[in-house]
Amino acid sequence: MAGLSHHTAGLSDLEAFRFPDEQAFLMAARERFRGVLLLQTCNRIEVLVQGSAASLTDFLHEQGREKFEIREGVDVLRHLLQVAAGIDSMIVGEDQILGQLKRAWAASQEAGACSQVIDLCMKKAVHVGIEVRKQTKINRGSVSIGSAAVALAENLLTTLKGRHILVIGSGEMGMLVAQALAAKNLTAIYVANRTYERAVMLAGKIGGKAVHFNELRRYFTLSDVVITCTSAPHPVITKEILADVMKGRCWPLDGHPRPLVLIDIAQPRDVEEGAGEVDGVNLFTIDNLRDVNEHNMEARREEAARAEAHIEAEIDRFITMLNGASADEVLGGLFTWAEAIRLRERDRACARLQGCSPETAAVIDDLTRVLTKKLLIDATYSIRACAQNGRIEEAERLVNAITRGDQSCFRKED
């Protein structure tokens, strides 16, 4: 696994590492690895592959990515379970990561990049994520990035009572923001989206007002807080737009604009870099939500410890399961080799019995199938045992010894 997260990377590093065309990335990666999965969230970008750390590093360098962290072996499995359980999230215990993992999993499958091992990893991660939430209180009253943005706005303004708030974006994050706002005693909630119908749907759910995207400047002027979370690949709010908007927010006497709290939780960012320099604009990003996480973590530290204990108990089972999958892949070569020989000799036998009946041909086919299975049963057991105990290379050498006559698996001391 390679990638970056909120633990060690800021927004600019995450944006530099992000892959705008996920499908193209998966298509390219599947040519190099047995399996690959790309997880991209607002504060995490990670690539999981069935392959070596060195190969993944080389591949990412070829993709123009230089700054990232690498994990391998058991560390990857543990990290994957921690991510699914929500204990590695910026907002500890948040539930959105499970949906994000499922979507990444589905994208890998659609691209034909999801190997048996990647598939097992995702099944296990999602299962453990669900079980941790059932067995602990880690997500009890949990907050999301969206609701954390609302909490930040409330802290900055002391109260949201009587305020006007504009939400830009009606996707999953926009929904979370809107739901958190609906619980506040606001005077007005405005919802904007490039697709107006989606804004209407979200506004209808929370009792807000849908606005057209081309009316944003007017509603910027009316609002005390703007929370933006679109999926646009480039900034939708520029310094120029904000400078123009702030002219309409000026106090009558002193010429200074009414302050505007602007919270950008999109990734990539919706607000142009440097927009916070515009007079009266108080710009905050995902990086500013770290304090919310620290407060949240204090309240959940005991539950996080219980979640960690559950994960550690699952690790050995996880390893055995993956080794079993590796055994299936190794044995696949053996069975393919044996089946080719069986079919060849079956056909030769039938050819020698000129004009043999379908019944006779069926008997010969059944006989060769049973003989092949019985002849391989002990070898299969030994190879599977090696693989399940983590001795994959030894299992591969045994298969090569049978299928190619390779004697390198027999050490001198044997």
Q: Name beta bridge partners: 189.
A: 165
- Which residues, at least 6 apart from 167, have a Cβ–Cβ distance to it below 8 Å? 174, 177, 178, 181, 189, 190, 191, 192, 202, 208, 226, 227, 228, 229
Q: Determine whether 409 is an active site residue.
A: no
- Burial class from Cβ neighbours inside 10 Å (0-12, 13-18, 19+) for residue 131 reads middle
| Binding site residue list | 41-44, 89, 94-96, 100, 169-174
Question: What residues contact residue 322 under an 8 Å CB cut-off, 6+ apart?
Answer: 77, 117, 120, 121
Distances (CA, A) of 130 to 81, 136, 361, 405: 11, 10, 52, 48
Q: What is the DSSP string of 242-276?
A: HHHHHHTTB-TTT-PBPPEEEEE--SS-SBPTTGG
The pair phi, psi for residue 63, each rounded to 5°, is: -85, 5
Residue with tokens 């001198």: 412
Residue set of the binding site for NADP(+): 169-174
Indicate the annotated binding residues for substrate. Answer: 41-44, 89, 94-96, 100
The residues annotated with a catalytic role in the active site are 42
